[in-house]
Structures are given as C-alpha cells and as structure tokens.
Copies of this chain bind each other. A is one copy, B any other.
Amino acid sequence: MPVTMKRLLDPDSLRALSRGCAILGAGGGGDAYVTLLQVLQATEDFGPVPLVDLDELPDDALIMPCAGIGATTVVLEKFENGDEGARLRDHLQFMTGRPVAALMSTEIGGGNGLLPITWAAAIGLPVVDADGMGRAFPELQMVSFNILGQRAAPMVMCDEYGDTVLIESSDNHRVEKLARPVIVPMGGLCMLAIYPMSGRAVKDTAVRGTLSLALRIGRTIATARREQQDPFEALFACLRSIEHYQHSRTLFDGKIVDLRRETQRGWAIGHVVLEDIAGRDQMSVTFCNEFLRAQRHGRTVAIVPDLITILDRETAEPVTTENLKYGQRVRVVGCSVPPLMRSERALAVWGPRAFGFDEPFVPIEAIPESSPAYSREQS
C-alpha cells in the first residue's frame, strides 16, 4: 500500500471510507452508515480530522486505540451521548499520566473504522492510518497489538449514562474476560480505549494503511456507480491492484433463504443460508458479529481471517450481519488478507480454531474455484 500523505478527512472521503470500512468489516464492526451520520455531524461541528501516516508519528507519543464493543445489533438502536471520546481520553490520560497525541481504530471494519474520527473531531486530535486487525473481529485479544506483545490494559470502557469502568491486568485474555460481561449492563454496546501505546509500538504492531485502503475501496465503488460501470468488476479490479488483497472473487450469487441471528452475551451470533436464483445451489455463512466461514455442500470455500463479505448484488453495497434480511439478493465475496494477518501467531488468536471450527486455515487462493470447491478431506 502506498505511503499516505497527511490530509484532512472531508465529507466525501468519509462517505467513501464508510463503504470501504463496511467491506473490510466482513459483516461486522457495526453498521457503518449510522456511524457515518455521526462522523459527518462531528466534522461539520468541529471541522475535518487530519489523517496521519504511521511514519509521521513521534516514537514517544501516546496513541489511543479505541472503538465500540458489543453486539452489532445494538449499534442500530442505541446512540452515544457525545462525550464518550473525551471521557475515554481523559480517563486514559489519568491512568497513564501522559497526554494522548492521536486516536486510532482498533478495528478498521464497519462503523468502528469511523468512530474514532468522530471522537477525534470533538477533541481536536488526528487519527492514525492503521488499525489492529485489518478487518473486524469480535474479541479484544483479536488484534495485532496483542499478537505482537502489547498490553491491553489499562483499558477504559464508558457508556451513554456517564459510567466508566477501568480494567488493569497483565493478561490480555483476562481483560477480554473481565470486560465482556460489563457490556451487558452498559446496554449491549459501549465505547472503549485499549492497548494504549507509544508511536514506536504502533509502528511495530499495527496493520498499516488500512484507513487509506478502505478509502480507496469505497471510492472505487462510488466511481463505478457514478460512471454506470459494474461495481463488482471495479471492486475486483481495485483489489487485484493491491498487494496481499489481490485474491478476491465472488463465492456465491443468490438470495437469502434462511437466517438465524441472536443477540447473545454481547454478540450477534448465527448463520445465513443463500440459494442461487435458479434454486439449485446453496451456501451457508456462519457469523459471530463477523462472517467467519462460507460453506457450499458442507465444504469450506472461505474462512477467517480471509475476508468474507456479503454485498447487494446490484449496487455492491455491503450488508452487515445485523442488517441481513430474508429475501435479500446478494453476492458473497471472498478476499485474501496480508501475511501479518495469516501468520502462525495470528492464526492462533483469530484463526478458525479460535472460533470453534474444527479445521485449519486455508488461504482463499489455495481453494479451487470450481464447486464443490474445497473438501476438508483433501486439505
């Protein structure tokens, strides 16, 4: 990915970014449209937010990774009171005794790719062009910062009531275990700052340039629509030109014929079944906030951490898990991800087995395109 020049995130960029984040979110990270409305309002009220490249960060600056956490279903119905970003920053500064220099998304996927920009606008700080996943994931230890040895604590959680919970632990898995049940009394969704770290540590552990990547993807689709081109062709052409994301394709084209989705323990959990228009073929996609595994005839055709995204089959508008509906006409798209996200250490944290799937990770480019595409016996 190209080195990003410092620039301001204007309303047009934010609209493109929203769509790109939703695609990288693999169905998760929260509804990006609701968050787009928030960030448009915030930048109108407080002015556009500067986007800074990793290499511009002073090594000793304190960076605050932040996001929403909870059930993506709740993102649609519960709004912030507006001071969450300031409270997260204030509490983190109190806990660390240092000033926060910039905000960064813990996950670029979905609304969480935009939320830190909302807060950055309100408190007058820049956002960093990077994140901790390169996509979206449902648990707090599922970030590159953890995989590469950063501490999750001190962690700050806050809600729209004005309540704050601070967690101190030397064990990042314990932080997830302690934080998760707090989400429920906070209304199924709350805001957090986590993995506070130096600019140096961000350079060493973040997934680089993912905000620029989301922007580029979002702009590609917008341009294709405006020029009345096929947005899927434009999307695939765009991804093919980006190192590590070049292996992408349509996994299925059809309509949603079954959907099971429950809001459990702070997540949106379930699966969706699609049928092709002729009614001869089916695909099942399992999700936990994010789409995790796509199967045809019981055989896996794409699996986490590779990206599985469901898009409207006409407009290529991504559909998040909580917005899936019976009868929707959609395409399921799979896409490769950078080596950092597929490393052995990364797979131990967010590979198939971390989600309870009894099968290894197989890169999408290693799975034959023809259907039935991939047999577990052959792997």
Binding site for B on A (CB under 8 A): 91, 161-171, 174, 177-178, 180-182, 184-186
CB-CB under 8 A from A91, the residues of chain B are: 168
Classify the interface of chain A: helix, strand, loop or mixed: mixed
CB-CB under 8 A from A166, the residues of chain B are: 165-168
Q: Are B168 and A164 in contact (CB under 8 A)?
A: yes
CB-CB under 8 A from A177, the residues of chain B are: 185
Q: Are A165 and B165 in contact (CB under 8 A)?
A: yes
A171 CB contact (under 8 Å) in B161, B174, B178, B180: B161
CA distance A181 to B170 in the complex (A): 20
Q: Are A161 and B185 in contact (CB under 8 A)?
A: no
Instruction: Output the least CB separation between A205 and chain B (Å).
Output: 23
CB-CB under 8 A from A168, the residues of chain B are: 91, 163-166
CA distance A170 to B159 in the complex (A): 13
A178 CB contact (under 8 Å) in B169, B170, B174, B182: B182
Q: Are A164 and B167 in contact (CB under 8 A)?
A: yes
CB-CB under 8 A from A161, the residues of chain B are: 169, 171, 174
CA distance A180 to B167 in the complex (A): 15
Q: Are B167 and A165 in contact (CB under 8 A)?
A: yes
Instruction: Output the least CB separation between A139 and chain B (Å).
Output: 13
Q: Which 9 A-B pairs have the closest CB atoms?
A: A181-B181, A166-B166, A163-B169, A164-B168, A177-B185, A178-B185, A165-B167, A163-B174, A165-B178
Q: Which single residue of chain B is at the shortest CB-CB distance from A185? A: B177
CA distance A161 to B185 in the complex (A): 24
Q: Which single residue of chain B is at the shortest CB-CB distance from A157? A: B178
CA distance A163 to B167 in the complex (A): 8
CA distance A181 to B180 in the complex (A): 9
CA distance A170 to B181 in the complex (A): 20
Instruction: Output the least CB separation between A1 and chain B (Å).
Output: 38
Q: Which single residue of chain B is at the shortest CB-CB distance from A162? A: B170
